[in-house]
Structure 1
């Protein structure tokens, strides 16, 4: 069936000498293109880019004109069904990221060898008819992402997932997922290890219990199902109308019934850990009786017995020098999609065995607390952070919500957070804090946990001209990612004080920093932000000049001049390049690795933008939206003189 053929006006026509020279010139030009990491495109990548550029006018046009709404194919014979599944997946992601994916193109790319399908960037294409093709052609899918597909009926979603038993990773963020869908997942997707059902507002916390088994979820007369081998469960912001106490009880049930959980995001998680450690299961009996699941005390005893047997078998296997059967099974379950998480958890900080030995030390000393395997937790409150740290000695990533004010003992929330992080000191690698108060309140907590942090995110914090941002940088010397979303100062700083005029050679540096975000909120009625934090210039120069590995920079609505800071950094770069021009071991230069830089609502000028483009050879994207110092004429000239994609409004 001739689904894919050349257009008639080009078929059988030989290219003349001029045409061949043009093609050779285009090919040589494309070979000089670089990938996201700055390296030259591979031949495979170039071929995929060519496919993406020609799909619409060749294969998609032929299929859409002749077959799309006339026939329904179980399989389509064409160039894509002979490609390896990894290349088809990469081509799919490429089309989605370029906003070139269409219904016809998606039909052509649904091939049997496909193992991963992500439609997060084109949720409008996800409908009931599409699932007919997915079920018919892609029953071997390992990973499926349907985030944002709000128009998808729950019944169709259940029927589809029931036909995809090989799934290891599933994302249903923001979909109409309900209890029936979760029940289908528990019965049919028996190899599932990663599940993200955040923002599914038709789900109640009790609806998740089927993931951990339970008699009431099995068919009538059949034994209950065993728990899913979930490694990651993300379920934040579900069901606005849950009963009081249900989130904590449901989280405790899942923590006890899913023994391999390492990454969890659920409401009531910290309180559930506290409940498990203190064995206060009496308050959950009404919940378990209502939902028809085993009592939490029975689950606790069973889990404790399993952990005891596992510890003995691990010790015996270590003594014999053999691989433990439990670890083999766990490796099998976590083989797909967990490599990055495991690598990150091993990167810095103590090893798992060290942290578990730390936890076992408490148990062996007479404390009968259950040790959980959690490493990455989200949706916490700082009042239960201490209990969580004792229950989960392997923690390396935390996202915590901190309220403004004091606790019941009169302590500030910053002090409570610092006390809670004390137990994780030296091993915590990633910290996210949502706090509507002054950033200075968090300084003590960052000094406690900052020595081992490689990623820090602060959201909603308030600033002033005296906010100790340099002290924050000093407290976290190993950061690779720093993201701060803040309220700008409300009081202006007219001129820098004497301390800000001192020598800058002692400023802290972040030599490993790869991603930097400083995002200040603004009123839409204001075109220009108020320049109220002049000493922030020193912090910016410190970060830009002292972080030579920076790849992504986002500086939004800064309450201080940015253009002069960038000019200073570029002048340092010019001086260093002149000094080390003939040296073979020259140090990394500031801004040399930058691939993307966003500077909306700042005073940056077009001459500075051009200078950055000339010096940063890997730069691909620049955003200077609403920069009042740049005119339309200047931006047209800037775009014509460079291949960098520039956004300006």
Structure 2
């Protein structure tokens, strides 16, 4: 078993081989940067992590690879990483993943018993049949495991690995060969599981998920929250299998809060209309309880919870009345005499009345039956009405209208508006795929937009008169805004805009941290058609009125962008007076940018240079296929500013593609 000790300790070095010169010190890579991206001094912990990452390959990994990797199989490796906490090992692992430096040998060294979270989604090629036994033997205390995309991992090996991880709370197997045997193992062995993602597992049928309802811990009523994601999985034997499976899981997993299932909307309609008899053949074939039986059990559970809350409320009221009686007795006798005639009903009478009311509600018709779902994905506009009655606590929703046509487009927009009214004021995240005009979505956004933190619009059709400014006005609290749309088909004449816009009339998004505007394009088309000149006003509004912006992605814009960026770089001051909570927040556009993507735009080399000097936290720039930037000018910028910027650069040498990544 290899024993690694801290370098520099007495006796830590191995004996030198004959003819080999013995060295007492090891030279490490020097880091030229001693401060963080914003100029603040790096903490000692962060410096240690960076030093470990820099020297991982040439020190620790090199020694282990040369001496032990392919010759021995260790249950545990006693080395320097055993002395680190699990959080630091997890941070180091993620740092190596982001740098594309995580190798098989490095992963062997980082699989320590104190590790609580392991995510290999960014390097799925490392996950194979040889690695899983190491995970099962060394990391039996894992709480979170993400093996998404590990397509070369056999289901048998995956099931054997999960048998040794009983403390898992979160498990992601998206895109893996997960099948029924893996789900059975999860249901039997992972009793503490709260989050499960098996999306894109094509070997998994909807009926196989029924095992979760009978054995998995996410079916426990004591669970505070649960998540089940199973989109794009295999097909069932019959067409109604996905609907029946979704309804069974909704009734048998009472703690579910986040759900992404095929045919979820139809399952909610089935529960809302109590059409359980239609699925008796499915439940008999799979050997599980009938949906009607599950529904009655769920009603009884809700009744018991209601009675428990009633008893707790009655006990609290009794304590309050005792305290009030003590205070009452301490008052003067005259006040006692005046109040002796109207004391009202006794506590026992009130308590009995509350118990009778609770029993009547639990035994009455199930008008108030509801699910505790809060996050739902993949719905249609037609299902929002029944869903609003069954799930009144929704705060995040994803709506898909791929079957859009012009004849019923406006009706779908009105259905969406009516459905979102139920959750108005409580929605925090909204994602809509709507291949129609943006103007048809405006009423729905005006209903639900003022409470949104995240808004995603996909597949939109735009025109020079699309109400983007009205959308921004309707969603003043946005932190993430993402719009993917088709460019206008009719061109717009160039407008003469004033250099200074009226700050009092323009909408602002002071909390916005991520902005994406992506327009579709043909790969054979080098430059997008400049057909939406008024879009420049929207961009000026978003870039100058969002001082907290960290991620910016503007792809194939149908309007000039370089002048807008120059305008934003010149802006300063403070937010308008109508933002009292941000009155002291300085207006410094683009100062906090860390990630910027500007493919297929007219941005120039000088503007990119100014952004690099202006944004001290910048880590990534993508100016792919920008026709105003030549490769010669880009490499000249790198050569002239490398010392001044004090940042490493790695650029793609293709003539038509230029990407800059700062280490």
Does the 8 Å contact 2:490/2:531 carry over to 1?
yes
* Structure 1 segment 40-59 matched on structure 2, within 5 A: 40-59=41-60
Q: Deviations over 1:97-140 (max 9, x none)?
A: 11101111111111111111111011111111111111111111
1:247 to 237, 242, 247: 242
Secondary structure class of the residue paired with 2:33: helix
Instruction: Output the TM-score relative to the length of structure 2.
Output: 0.83
Instruction: Output the TM-score relative to the length of structure 1.
Output: 0.84
- Structure 1 residue 585 displacement after superposition: 5.3
1:34 to 32, 37, 49: 37
Cross-structure match for 1:281: 276
Is the counterpart of residue 119 in structure 1 residue 120 in structure 2? yes
For the structure 1 residues 603 and 14, does the alpha-carbon distance in structure 2 shift closer, same or farther, using more than 3 Å as the test?
Answer: closer
Q: Gaps spanning 5+ residues in structure 2: where? A: 8-12, 15-19, 318-358, 576-582, 652-656, 659-663
Cα RMSD, aligned residues only? 3.0
Is the counterpart of residue 571 in structure 1 residue 574 in structure 2? no
Cross-structure match for 2:299: 304
Partner Cα separation in structure 2 for residue 562 and residue 192 of structure 1: 48
Is the counterpart of residue 11 in structure 1 residue 23 in structure 2? yes
Cross-structure match for 2:152: 151
Cross-structure match for 1:178: 179
Partner Cα separation in structure 1 for residue 131 and residue 500 of structure 2: 64
Q: Gaps spanning 5+ residues in structure 1: where? A: 218-224, 323-359, 578-583
Partner Cα separation in structure 2 for residue 10 and residue 532 of structure 1: 71
Does the 8 Å contact 2:410/2:440 carry over to 1?
no
Cross-structure match for 2:338: none
- Structure 1 residue 281 displacement after superposition: 0.7
2:263 to 241, 262, 268: 268
Q: Deviations over 1:309-368 (max 9, x none)?
A: 11221232344459xxxxxxxxxxxxxxxxxxxxxxxxxxxxxxxxxxxxx999999762
Cross-structure match for 1:342: none
Is the counterpart of residue 551 in structure 1 residue 550 in structure 2? yes
Partner Cα separation in structure 1 for residue 408 and residue 491 of structure 2: 35
Partner Cα separation in structure 1 for residue 103 and residue 242 of structure 2: 40
Cross-structure match for 1:69: 70
Does the 8 Å contact 1:3/1:63 carry over to 2?
no
Is the counterpart of residue 257 in structure 1 residue 257 in structure 2? no
Cross-structure match for 1:84: 85
Partner Cα separation in structure 2 for residue 537 and residue 208 of structure 1: 49
Cross-structure match for 1:331: none
Partner Cα separation in structure 2 for residue 61 and residue 142 of structure 1: 30
Does the 8 Å contact 2:149/2:175 carry over to 1?
yes
From the CA coordinates, give the structure whose radius of gyration is larger: 2
Q: Deviations over 1:19-69 (max 9, x none)?
A: 9xxx9xx56x5331338xx75432111111111110111111111111111
Cross-structure match for 2:375: 376
Partner Cα separation in structure 2 for residue 461 and residue 387 of structure 1: 26
Partner Cα separation in structure 2 for residue 398 and residue 14 of structure 1: 55
* Structure 1 segment 451-462 matched on structure 2, within 5 A: 451-462=450-461
How many equivalent pairs are there?
A: 585
For the structure 1 residues 404 and 368, does the alpha-carbon distance in structure 2 shift closer, same or farther, using more than 3 Å as the test?
Answer: same
Does the 8 Å contact 2:303/2:361 carry over to 1?
no
Partner Cα separation in structure 2 for residue 247 and residue 14 of structure 1: 60
For the structure 1 residues 304 and 524, does the alpha-carbon distance in structure 2 shift closer, same or farther, using more than 3 Å as the test?
Answer: same
Cross-structure match for 1:606: 605
For the structure 1 residues 523 and 9, does the alpha-carbon distance in structure 2 shift closer, same or farther, using more than 3 Å as the test?
Answer: farther
Cross-structure match for 1:197: 198
Cross-structure match for 1:337: none
Partner Cα separation in structure 2 for residue 563 and residue 613 of structure 1: 14
Cross-structure match for 1:294: 289
- Structure 1 residue 227 displacement after superposition: 8.4
For the structure 1 residues 283 and 411, does the alpha-carbon distance in structure 2 shift closer, same or farther, using more than 3 Å as the test?
Answer: farther
Partner Cα separation in structure 2 for residue 279 and residue 265 of structure 1: 22
Does the 8 Å contact 1:404/1:437 carry over to 2?
no
- Structure 1 residue 276 displacement after superposition: 1.1
For the structure 1 residues 302 and 447, does the alpha-carbon distance in structure 2 shift closer, same or farther, using more than 3 Å as the test?
Answer: same
Structure 1, 129-138 or 614-623: larger mean CA deviation:
614-623
Does the 8 Å contact 1:512/1:547 carry over to 2?
yes
Partner Cα separation in structure 2 for residue 504 and residue 576 of structure 1: 11
Partner Cα separation in structure 2 for residue 206 and residue 251 of structure 1: 9
